[in-house]
Amino acid sequence: MKNKILIVDDQEINRDILAGILHEDYELVLATNGVEAVEALGEDGNGIALVLLDLVMPELNGYEVLEYANAKGFIEKVPVIVISSEADAKTERKCLDLKVIDFIRKPFDKLAVLRRVENVIKLFTIQHNLEKLVDAKTEEIQKQNEKLAQQASCLKRTNERIIELLGTVVEYRNLESGQHIQRVKGFTKLLAEQLAERYPEYGLTEKRINVIVAASALHDVGKIAISDSILLKPGRLTKEEFEIMKTHTTEGCAIIEHMKGIGASEYEKVSYEIARHHHERYDGGGYPDGLRGDEIPIAAQIVAIADVYDALVSKRCYKDAYGKSEAFRMIMAGECGVFSEKILTCLAKAKENFEALADAYAE
């Protein structure tokens, strides 16, 4: 299929000369003035590969045709070569400002006309093909990114579902209702959001908070390894039994270590930190590692208070539930171990929301 060239010149002899040079290799459209040229170009260039445009014409001159092509926005796709006997710098600058690609001087040189036309059409064909290739690649990349985003979202849901299922197994083993995990997750979220707002140094972005909330469901996963005689004992544990109970922290992180590769690494890391360190205390008086201050991962510090608060306000096989105000007082007074002043400040700010959540998920 031949490329289509529009020749615009009010002089018949000029149209005939150009047509004689180009007719063998191109499909030609002839226009005697600017009005006919605009009609031939239409709204989008009308498939024309190149315009050979005279400047001085009646009714609508060449400059006005160029202004039309610029206004319609197809001048970058339909190249224009000006054919003119005028050679002054002012004329050239004006044409170049209107995005003319080249000039052919009168009288015409056959070889020069053929070479210039051929070169311009080749250049714009390559450019057009590159644009199409870029558009196709961009669309392909967008589709791949959408697919990756869908896969990431699916993986996130799968990770959270696995974590919650494991947590639920522990609850059934521990004879607790399924509300315990939901409460701990809720308390964790409330506390983390307060901490993110007041203490940006912890880097608690929305994404990181969501990971911590999901991972909090595994804080007691190590209790799977504790015998029923200790886990379900209705009375106070002996010193030896309590030492065994404390191993649920190390057993929990060992279980999570064995899960490596099943879920996303960010979930594995935070789940490990929470399972191992949610019984550490800010003064170093916790277990299993006796970590002190901010040696304790912030995720574990948050879940520690969430877990303690829920343990206090919930009835267990070995105790009755404390009132919500009393539970708050005990934590703030240090009766349940020493916690970070920053986190206690956040707990105080979230007190009413904690109590509302406890009521919403009551046993």
**Side-chain half-sphere exposure of 317, counting CA atoms within 13 A:** 16
Q: What is the rounded average pLDDT of the residues 251-275?
A: 81
Identity of the highest mean pLDDT range in 128-132, 180-184, 335-339: 335-339
Q: What is the pLDDT of residue 363?
A: 66
pTM as predicted: 0.58
**What pLDDT does residue 181 have?**
84
- Report yes or no: 52 and 8 within 8 Å, Cβ to Cβ: yes
Q: What's the pLDDT at 318? A: 66
How many whole angstroms separate alpha carbon 180 and alpha carbon 340? 24
Give the pLDDT band of residue 186 (cuts 50, 70, 90): very high
Both tokens assigned to 323: 């009132």
Mean pLDDT of the chain: 87
Of 156, 223, 324, 342, which is the active-site residue? 223
Could you read off the pLDDT of 8-30 as tens digits, one per residue? 999 999 999 999 999 999 999 99
What pLDDT shows up at residue 156?
Answer: 65
Tell me the C-alpha to C-alpha distance, in Å, between residue 182 and each of 34, 57, 76, 169, 358. 76, 81, 60, 14, 10
> Is 122 in the active site?
no
Distance CA 97, CA 191 (A): 62
Paired tokens of 273: 């930190």
pLDDT in tens, 287-341: 999 999 999 999 999 999 999 999 999 887 667 889 999 999 999 999 999 999 9
Specify the pLDDT at position 150. 79
